Amino acid sequence: MDFSVAHELPGRLRLRCPGGSFTQAEGAVIGAILETQPGVTAVTASHRTGSLLIYYEEDAQGEVRRSILTAVGLLDKTFYEGIDGSSLIPQGPSLSESLTSLFGGVIGRAFLPRTLRYGLTFLRSLPLLGRGLRSLLLGGRLDVSVLDASAVGVSLLRRDFRTAAVVTTLLALGDLLESWTHKKSKESLADSLALNIDKLWIRREGQEVQIPMVDLRIGDFVVVRAGSVIPVDGVVSEGSARVNQSTMTGESEPVHRIPGLSVYAGTVVEEGELVVRVTAFDSETRIHKIAEMINESEELKAAVQNRAEKMADAIVPYSFLLAGGIYLWTRDATRATAALLVDYSCAIKLATPLAILSAMREGAKRGALVKGGKFLEALAAADTVVFDKTGTLTVSAPSVAKVIPFQGYTREMVLRDAACLEEHFPHSIARAVVKQAEKEGLSHREEHSTVEYAVAHGIASRLRGEKVSIGSAHFVFEDEGVTCTPEQQEIIDRETEKYSVLFLAIGGRLTGMLCIEDPLRKDAFDIVKRLHEVGINRVVMLTGDSLRAAKNVAETIGIDEVQAQLLPADKTTVVKGLQGAGKMAGKVIMVGDGVNDSPALAAADVGIAMCAGADIAQAVADVILSENRLHALIDVRRLGTGVMEKIYRNYAFIIGANSLLLALGLSGAITPAASALLHNLATIGASIYSLTPVLDNDRGKS
């Protein structure tokens, strides 16, 4: 079986297999096979994302890990294809079945004789008591399990079987609702993006044929009609249609797709018909990668979530101290039990991750794919946003505005030689040069030697026996040592005020310059203004362009600070410098899209990449804007601040409600059973609030 190691922690491996490697039933068989390997403790196979999550016992020599990787590599379809593994898939009762069983047992026991009823109460308490003892004696932890076991144990010792029965039932109900709510929240987040398509129609040799999804290939032409889900990422080759892209971008209105425009898997054709040339399918589609990212998102917990979990367990010893103090003061075991039945821990532990999962789902609907809770927290704490100019604040399709020749060269010669070199580099400016040459019908032969490319500097080679270089002023004049005349410098100074410029030098002489028009995004001014409105104190623009050209752009759209003529390493240095200078913990957001932006994206507290950017930029980024729509940046900032406000409001409610219940229990105003009931209701209320949307109720504001 083909696989790669997607993520690794001590005693834990996540392997990624190609999409469609196995079905759900086959995944269960694979898991069962791997669990027979020495040292493997558990295996979870996800057919949706093609992942294998393997837990194992570490050894000093790493033999267990090596044997696992060897076993997975040897697995092929002959081991598991056609085997019915449905019986191995954990089914588990539904929520309604579990609730019926729980309350049905309560009602049934009410009609039993008292002695038998008390005996059943004791037996039902044993798992809870055992869990508490294991946590205390084996784990050395004084946590919520110990607290719950103590409350039930005290009731049993006092022969208060009614309280013990009620508390045991309510704790079981709380565990059931906690498990179900958390599971459904995470599943709905990933499943809302998952595709379940087995067959599709494609056009081959002028005819339409239906094929299984597994037989699809890159370059095939898929036919999608009104009412159908687009099953692939691709480019429209024929037809016209209105496509609902809400699953990818959050746009409420369908968009018009015509030949040459991109479409994405998981979006829906509402009107019309399209023939789509496949560029990605199955595990390579954007929507699949979203689901895959969500599947692994809990590995990137927010600090607030980790703090909540630690705080929840840290509160437990104080509950014991309070209960002990109350008993010593009043000698009333009922009041002391009340202190054990009301804890702050379970609500805090449940509500915080639910709020984060809900916010991530909301972000995905709005076109902002957040890779983990800790990045939502950093988005809320940020006070600085740094933009790379090209492809981010400007449109990703620059064009050649002027070609200025020097040293006896003609305009056509400069453009032809520049295109001959630039066609080897997949950058938006390089594409603009090649496109302009094609537009003017300037064909060229490969006359140069091996191309050497320096990131964000330029290209060097040999052409017709002479050294040739093309790139920025820094690269051509400083690195390559090319000089220019005063007349040439005057022209350069004039043009760099308005354009980004590429310089071409042959044989050590400046032979021409290409002025690149890099139009600003129409919404750039509004985005900068909105960033200030949502609490960003400083908006910075980084660029490799000349300072004068950069300042013109900054003044046009309201940028606070500009740093120009930067190399990739310089951008990273700037980001790190800003991290120590912020007013709110120095959190810095970096927005970029190119290969040369990747180091800065990785260095920032939150790296945000445009979906049309380079693959490496998307790989290192913490947030991906799934459509080239900068307004999603405002949404994701507001989402971060909104979810943090929700978490802290939940804290206030949980502490306030449980403190009130504690006071009522200690005063004797309510019984321990009533205290437990109200405590569980407060936990459920906090969880429901955690799942409410942050932004969906004010869509018109964003």
Give the list of residues 6+ apart from residue 168 with CB closer than 8 angstroms, or none.
Answer: 121, 124, 125, 128, 152
| Bridge partners, residue 45, by sequence | 52
Structure tokens at 684: 């459920």
Give the list of residues 6+ apart from residue 449 with CB closer than 8 angstroms, or none.
Answer: 461, 462, 463
Cα–Cα dist 109/117, whole Å? 6
Cα–Cα dist 571/390, whole Å? 13
Count of Cβ atoms closer than 10 Å to residue 37 Cβ: 16
Structure tokens at 50: 């093609």
Tell me, letter by letter, the H, E, C secondary structure of 28-88.
HHHHHHHCCCCCEEEEEEECCCCEEEEEECCCCCCHHHHHHHHHHHHCCHHHHCCCCCHHH
Strands 606-610 and 587-592: parallel
Query: Is 388 in the active site?
Result: yes
Helix ranges (DSSP H) in 113-218:
114-133, 144-157, 161-191
Sign of CA dihedral 281, 286, 290, 295: positive
Cα–Cα dist 480/488, whole Å? 17
Burial 229-247 (b: 16+ CB within 10 A, else e): bbbbbbebeebebebbbbb
Q: Are 354 and 691 in contact (CB under 8 A)?
A: yes
| Bridge partners, residue 515, by sequence | 402, 501
3-state class of 589 per DSSP? Answer: strand
Count of Cβ atoms closer than 10 Å to residue 511 Cβ: 21
3-state class of 354 per DSSP? Answer: helix
Taken as a whole, the chain contains a residue count of 702
Structure tokens at 682: 């407060």
Q: Are 687 and 350 in contact (CB under 8 A)?
A: yes
Tell me, letter by letter, the H, E, C secondary structure of 193-236.
CCCCCCEEEEEECCEEEEEEHHHCCCCCEEEEECCCECCEEEEE
Q: Are 23 and 47 in contact (CB under 8 A)?
A: yes
Calculate ∠ Cα 72-73-77, nearest 5°. 80
By the 10 Å C-beta count (0-12 exposed, 13-18 middle, 19+ buried), 272 is classed as middle
Cα–Cα dist 361/369, whole Å? 9
Structure tokens at 462: 């040999």
Given the residues 148, 220, 282, 388, select the one marked as catalytic.
388
Active site residues: 388
